[in-house]
Chain A
Amino acid sequence: MGGLGNHSLELTGLAGDPASPVHRLDPRAKILGLVAVTLVAVSTPLEAWPVFGACALVLACVATAGRVSGRDVWRRVRFLLPLVLLAALFLPFVRSGGRTYDLGPLTAHQAGLEVFGAVAIKATIGTVSAVLLGATTTFPTVLRGLEAMRVPRLLVMIAAFMYRYLFVIVEETGRMRAALAARAYRPRTALHAGALGRVSTAMFLRTYARGERVYHAMLARGYHGRMPQLAPLVLRRPDVLFVALVLAAILPLRVATGVGA
């Protein structure tokens, strides 16, 4: 059934020292602090580059305090960042202005490159923030934080079930792929994709039936429309201090460099 570690989803777990002060912070403090870093970075124009420096410094401090190694951060960032950057890749070639650089059939423009650079920096800071949140906070804890921050319960519940059953579905998909491969299924042309369609249908039906069984299991234990909470979150002094420090490190600098992106 696959324990932890031999999973394709192992990168979703904690990294660093689970007993570190960062790991032990209230999830709301981490969500607030790291979202603040992301928002400040996104709203900063390229000319105000010291703000990016401050954001990077904050992230480096969080990683160090949580004993999350650069390698751990990189292993997670490298999956996310290319997806984020893909959208910005065409910018140097369509946004004209300034000097031009000939790259064979394509021409890159100075202005476009600058915008691309700004987007890349912002995307990196945002991605590393998210990765650090994920590396220092378990997903269920993030969800509890979001719920305590008044994110609609229904959305939090959907995310919670998605997280719980993602692993089950990944395992099921793996078994189906093995079953296809065991009967010499090696798609070569688009015509062979039909089998994959049927696999998706089977997956959908299985998931749907499971949904019904899970709902039965919930009713059987007295579910009546509200997810019960075991431990209400309590904000403590270190949590407040963390948010204050993060904001103190980036906000004054951001305000000093003016408004507008």
Chain B
Amino acid sequence: MSCAIHAVELVYRYPNGHPALVGIDLHVRHGERVAVLGPNGAGKTTLMLHLNGLMTGSGALEVAGVDVGPKTLPELRRRVGLVFQDPDDQLFMPTVEEDVAFGPLNMGLEPDAARARVSEALGAVRMEAAAERAPHQLSMGERRRVAIATVLAMRPSLLVLDEPSANLDPRARRELLEVLTRIDRTMLVTTHDLPLAAELCERAVILARGRVVADGACREILGNEELLRANDLELPAGFDLDRVALRPRPAAVIEALRTPPLAAPAGFSS
């Protein structure tokens, strides 16, 4: 199954006419981890919502092997896991277990199979013990991890995370990073947390005013002070990029990344 993203000339205007995406061209390979950086209002969240068909602009968009359109929505949402910025938006069921089972049950799984998915997904984020608890009884870091479990339970091939480390204390952030490192999916992470991007992603894309203004190896982009400054981004004071190692990937992903880049499918001549 292809887990790539192919976006060509993606344009979206808000109903009030304000342009949010002004021609996005983005190609992501299977297994890649891409950080989407950019100041507030650059269009990061809008792009993210497009990947799941929650917003539809003009231009061509293929995600995880599915042409985004009204007919493909159920399949698209099965393949693309969206983790929203505020876990309180994502966790809407009375208990963690019911919340994590929500996606699998919507996919038509039987309750027993759904329950197996719940324990698998909660295990992946180390939150097995929280199944019976209510979301409001969890800490922010725990809520975030459960929010990730809610989409892992659908076994998506692409995971899209919106500001995963926002509002987390250092310990919760570290735990989150450890959980994310072990997930062997293609990942798109929008974030202001540049050190997180440095540890997690090998590739970075800078979005500004609805456009991709830089796309390349994460280290090179984060090392380019001028580029960062021009886009209202900055590394924490005293941060030494050379002392941070990219976290190792699960073996399956490394294998997938060895294959040459996927050619853009027909109809995506960019």
Known: A164-B92, A216-B54. A230 touches B154 (CB 8 A): no
Main secondary structure of the interface of A (DSSP, over half): helix
**Would you give the shortest CB distance from B209 to chain A, in whole angstroms?**
23
Task: Tell which of B78, B90, B106, B140 touches A217, judged by Cβ atoms closer than 8 Å.
Answer: B90
Residues from chain B with a CB closer than 8 A to the CB of A167 are 136
Known: A167-B136, A220-B82, A222-B74. A229 touches B89 (CB 8 A): no
Q: Determine whether the beta carbon of B54 is less than 8 Å from that of A220.
A: yes
Contact pattern, B 66-108, Cβ under 8 Å of A = 1, otherwise 0: 0000000010011000101010111111110110011101110
A247 is an interface residue with CB less than 8 A from chain B? no
Contact pattern, B 124-165, Cβ under 8 Å of A = 1, otherwise 0: 000000000011111110000000001100100000000000
A258 is an interface residue with CB less than 8 A from chain B? no
| Residue with the greatest number of chain A CB neighbours at <10 A, chosen from B74, B78, B89, B150 | B89
* CB-defined A-B contacts under 8 Å, sample of 15: A1-B139, A140-B98, A140-B134, A160-B94, A165-B88, A167-B136, A213-B86, A216-B49, A217-B84, A220-B151, A221-B102, A228-B105, A230-B98, A230-B111, A230-B114
A223 is an interface residue with CB less than 8 A from chain B? yes
Q: Determine whether the beta carbon of A164 is less than 8 Å from that of B135.
A: yes
Q: Determine whether the beta carbon of B49 is less than 8 Å from that of A3.
A: no
Task: Tell which of A1, A4, A224 touches B106, judged by Cβ atoms closer than 8 Å.
Answer: A224
Bound form: Cα–Cα A67–B31 in Å: 54
B56 is an interface residue with CB less than 8 A from chain A? no
A161 is an interface residue with CB less than 8 A from chain B? yes
B115 is an interface residue with CB less than 8 A from chain A? yes
B52 is an interface residue with CB less than 8 A from chain A? yes
A214 is an interface residue with CB less than 8 A from chain B? yes
Residues from chain A with a CB closer than 8 A to the CB of B77 are 219-222
A24 is an interface residue with CB less than 8 A from chain B? no
Q: Determine whether the beta carbon of B150 is less than 8 Å from that of A164.
A: no
Q: Determine whether the beta carbon of B94 is less than 8 Å from that of A164.
A: yes
